[in-house]
Amino acid sequence: MDTLTPTQRSERMSRVRSKDTKPEMAVRRLVHGLGYRYRLHGRKLPGHPDLVFASRRKVIFVHGCFWHRHPRCKNTRLPKSKLDFWKPKLEDNRKRDLKSQRMLRKLGWAYLVIWECEVNGTEVLTKRIIDFLEG
């Protein structure tokens, strides 16, 4: 059973953003600080990547661990209520991500997934981003 009323739940869920999230903004600041320029939310590409480096044919996704089911992450827990709703929804998100990644690869694009829980480790993340964009 949900601990919130439908009105409270609706209000809380309306605060969940799909763009300009804190992890995404942190990655954008980091990438920009490294001197790379990019486009945002490539609508013409599968999965609408968060950062698009068109001249390099590379994209970066910044995924929330809960919403995109980060394997072996403590933030990937399932809600305690309405599992019949949440399990299929979250699994569909994961399947859609994998499909988008396959399609990008097929179109000749490389992708990097940065998980929400990885954003705080800036030294390791900086190296991963540079290796990805320069490699």
Residue 42 inside a domain? The answer is yes
- How far apart, in whole angstroms, are the C-alpha atoms of residue 30 and residue 124? 12
- How far apart, in whole angstroms, are the C-alpha atoms of residue 27 and residue 62? 8
Residues 17, 34, 23, CA angle at the centre, nearest 5°?
20
Domain coverage including residue 105: 17-134
Residue 72 inside a domain? The answer is yes
Query: How much is the pTM?
Result: 0.86
**Count of structural domains, the chain:** 1
Contacts of 30 (CB under 8 A, 6+ apart): 122, 125, 126, 129
Gyration radius from the chain CA atoms: 16
pLDDT tens digit sequence for 57-77: 999 999 999 989 999 898 888
pLDDT tens digit sequence for 20-62: 789 999 999 999 999 999 999 989 999 999 999 999 999 999 9
